[in-house]
Amino acid sequence: MRWALFLLVASTLWWAAPAVAATDDAAPGRVAFIGVPGLHWDDVTPEAAPNLWRLAGQSDLGSVSVKTLGTVACPYDGWLTVSAGLRSAFGQRCGLPPEPERRGEGAVIPGFVDILAKRDGGYTGTLGSAVQAAGECTTAVGRGAALALGDRQGHVDVYAPDPASLADWSRCRVLAVDVDELIRPYLGVDGKLSREPEAITPEERLKAVRAADAEVGAALAKLPAGTQVVLAGNGDHGSVPHLRVAMWKHDGARGAILGTSSTRREDIVILTDITTTVLTAAGIPVPPTVIGIAWAPGHVAGLDAGVAELREADLKATTVRSATGVFFTVFATITVFFYAIAYFVLSRRKRPGAIGPVALGLAAVPVSTYLVNLVPWVQGTYPIIPLVCAVVAIDLAIVGLAVGGPWRRDPLGPPAVVATFTGLVLVADLLTGTNLQFNSLMGYTAVVGGRYYGLANIPFALLATGVLMTTAMAADRLVRRGRRRAAVWVVTGLGVAAMLLAGWPGVGSDFGGVIAFVPGIAVTALLVAGRKVSILKLGAFCVLGGVAVSIIAVLDHLRPPASQTHLGRFVAQVIDGTFWPMIMRKLGAMLNTMLSPNLMPIVIAGLAFLVFAILRPEKISAGVVPRAFARTPMLRAGLIGALVSGVIGMLVNDSGTAVLSMAVATAVPLVLYAGIRSEPAVTGTGDGAPGERVVAGKI
């Protein structure tokens, strides 16, 4: 009843207000979009870029995540995305857009038919066509600007190759300027990006920044008074993605930090938001296929403090991204080594020693990577060092809590602490804006751009595992007391509550997570109830999960566009037929990560140890795993339910093996600890009398 009341209140609050408030300060009128691919907040200083610094002082400020379809957003793809209002990529050329062909005072993009034919380029020209449909003309300065404002035929009304060549800056209400000086030093002889960031000396970079600043200054000087300026670093260079500069100069600009409902972050916008922001600023209707939301100023920070805040955000994101691969490799190596040592020690009937506490430590690592964001680890020249040290310290603290409390005498006590702690931390994070998952080693970052809010795939696996293992261990006590029906309700009630949080728009917003969570809850509940689970039932549970998340997505779609999450926008894409590119990208991402060398060893080692410990217990683990199931039968139900959610989550989410690997990495060590601490169970039958063995349902 308490959970139902809580969810009712939470959903009412969610329905009543969007995540990021819109602004009415910017009246529709003339707008200029200035794209400076590669522009970083470190470049914007009073000494190196006085024009940009002056513009920043007159604008609201933010960071733009330039993610398109690849790891690095090519400038070409950045301009395509602004043109289409959807993440787009040409797929063959990582460099500058093509040079337009002059047609009178306008121009046409060469090869535009080829761009439209691409799977991810079919909506190119949406921005320019929307402007022309409103009876307005388009002016483009530079090749990227022409690509952004070209209509569905690739035509722009007025074109100039550079600011000095444009005579009339007031003719069209919508204007775009391409400032590509920061990209040219990284181009090879073939015109494609080939040089890495470290290949450019600081002097060369400073020279490029000054050239870009001069061109921005030339454009600003010629803009008619009252023109709104939307400036963004709409592309990357090299192999390292960054958050790029976003500025919006309008009548109400006051040094606020820019956010958007697309990211539900107060300081991060995305490329597709630029399309909507430009059209909204010009008072032009936004086409329904455009998925972005107009930028919205948030808290006022001022110039110096705002720039410092945005620089730190990029440093935090890039530090996490650069460390993630190494972190997972080390974690997988330690995990495999641990299982090998556990096999060696247990199979030889040696005293387990530290095997139990180390198992708890491994299971607590994931939640530690989220809790670390409660401390200010972004310090010094090498922030990775305090990050890793803090994760280790938090992990040790969780293990100390688990083995040091009064519950330590119960074999299920310490595992229950770790599982419950994992579930509670993730639930609390969902209810407070997912700030712990954001920029975490097992979460997501804006520079990667796969997700900006809600429950990511790895946290979903940890939430599902934590909840199912916790409820199963609680159910074990209830079953032993003869309260099997109450045990089933505990698993079902808490599981469904967590599932709703995982999928609810603006909270978890996890489409695939709901599909995978429902079967895990159902399987665990059936096994606790002493029922069998068939393949047919399992398939029905998967369908039920799909129905549940579809209902949630449709409800989200019924809200105003500015308040919708990606769930509601996906429904809109299904309606207008633009959803296939996104589906194919997610399918490709899932297949690419299915055999991840960083994650698959965790799955293989954990499941191999578990399976062989059950099939050949005397040779593999001295019977500790069967002993755990005999001593606490419902633990087996929770483990099976968690693995079911992990396997289905692996198939329906784009992170592939990552989902199953985290379910295994958390659940199996907890079972191992319970087995080490359990004494052989007294045989017998019954429905839960103290001292009797209670057998869970069979699958």
User: Where does the pLDDT of residue 405 fall: very low under 50, low under 70, confident under 90, or very high at 90 and above?
Assistant: confident
**What mean pLDDT is predicted for residues 293-311?**
95
Residues 6+ apart with CB under 8 A from 85: 123, 126, 127, 272, 275, 276, 286, 287, 289, 290, 291, 292
Main-chain phi, psi angles of 449, to 5 degrees: 75, 20
Do 286 and 345 have their domain in common? no
- How high is the pLDDT of residue 119? 55
Classify 259 as helix, strand or coil: strand
What pLDDT is recorded for position 345?
86
pLDDT tens digits along 560-587: 877 777 777 777 777 776 666 666 666 6
Q: Any residues with CB less than 8 A from the CB of 502 and at least 6 apart, and which? A: 430, 455, 460, 463, 464, 508, 510, 513, 514, 517
Query: Could you please report the per-residue DSSP string of 217-246?
Result: HHHHHHSPTT-EEEEE-----TT---EEEE
Among the listed residues 540, 542, 564, 539, the one whose alpha carbon sits nearest the alpha carbon of residue 553: 564
Amino acid letter at 213? D
pLDDT in tens, 361-375: 999 999 999 999 999
Distance CA 582, CA 586 (A): 6
Clarify whether residues 258 and 349 are in a common domain.
no
- Is the per-residue pLDDT at 698 higher than 60? no
> In the chain, pLDDT over 70 holds for what percent of residues?
86
Please state the φ and ψ torsions of residue 229, each to the nearest 5 degrees.
-120, 120
Enclosing domain of residue 213 = 32-272+281-296
**Whether the Cβ atoms of residue 375 and residue 390 lie closer than 8 Å to each other:** yes
Domain total in the chain: 2
Whole-number pLDDT of residue 560: 81
3-state DSSP assignment of residue 109: coil
| pLDDT value of position 87 | 87
CA distance 586 to 653: 7
Q: How far is CA 288 from the centre of its chain?
A: 24
Answer yes or no: is 672 within a domain: yes
CA distance 307 to 620: 57
pLDDT tens, position by position, 145-202: 999 999 999 999 999 999 999 999 999 999 999 999 998 888 776 667 765 655 678 8
In a domain, 699, yes or no: no
Q: Which amino acid is at 639?
A: L
178 lies in some domain:
yes
pLDDT at 571: 77
Model pLDDT for residues 86-137, shown as the tens digit of each residue: 888 776 667 788 899 999 999 999 988 777 776 555 688 999 999 999 999 9
Q: Does 255 lie in the same domain as 136?
A: yes
Q: CA 86, CA 118: separation in Å to the nearest integer?
A: 13
Confidence of residue 590 (pLDDT cuts 50, 70, 90): low
Residue 346 in any domain: the answer is yes
Q: What is the dihedral of CA 504, 508, 511, 514, to 10 degrees?
A: -80
pLDDT at 687: 44
* Overall residue count recorded for the chain in this entry: 699
Same-domain check for residues 628 and 494: yes
Distance of alpha carbon 637 from alpha carbon 474, whole angstroms: 12
The average pLDDT across 55-76 equals 90
Q: Does 273 score more than 50 pLDDT? A: yes
Q: How far is CA 436 from the centre of its chain?
A: 12
> Is 317 part of a structural domain of the chain?
no
| pLDDT for the residue numbered 591 | 61
The pTM of this model reads 0.86
Please say if the pLDDT value at position 24 is more than 50: no
Task: Let me know whether 218 and 347 are in one domain.
Answer: no
What is the per-residue pLDDT for 160?
96
213/343 same-domain check: no
Same domain, 378 and 239: no
- Are residues 292 and 346 located together in one domain of the fold? no
| Tokens encoding 333 | 């190596």
pLDDT of 471 higher than 50: yes
CB 255 within 8 A of CB 147: no
Higher pLDDT, 442 or 14: 442
CATH number assigned to the domain comprising residue 108: 3.40.720.10
- Alpha-carbon span 316 to 446, nearest angstrom: 10
Do 84 and 217 lie in a common domain? yes
Please say if the pLDDT value at position 685 is more than 80.
no
Q: Which pLDDT belongs to residue 535?
A: 86
Strands (DSSP E) contained in 202-327 are: 228-232, 243-249, 256-259, 268-270, 296-300
Task: With CA atoms as reference, report the closest residue to 503 among 472, 539, 470, 547.
Answer: 547
Residues 237 and 380 in one domain: no
- Position 154 in a domain: yes
Q: What is the pLDDT of residues 524-550, one digit of tens each?
A: 999 999 998 888 888 888 888 888 888
Q: Are residues 264 and 361 in the same domain?
A: no
Tell me the per-residue pLDDT of 428-440, one tens digit each, with 9 for 90 and over: 999 999 999 999 9
State the chain's mean pLDDT as an integer.
86
Domain identity same for 263 and 368: no
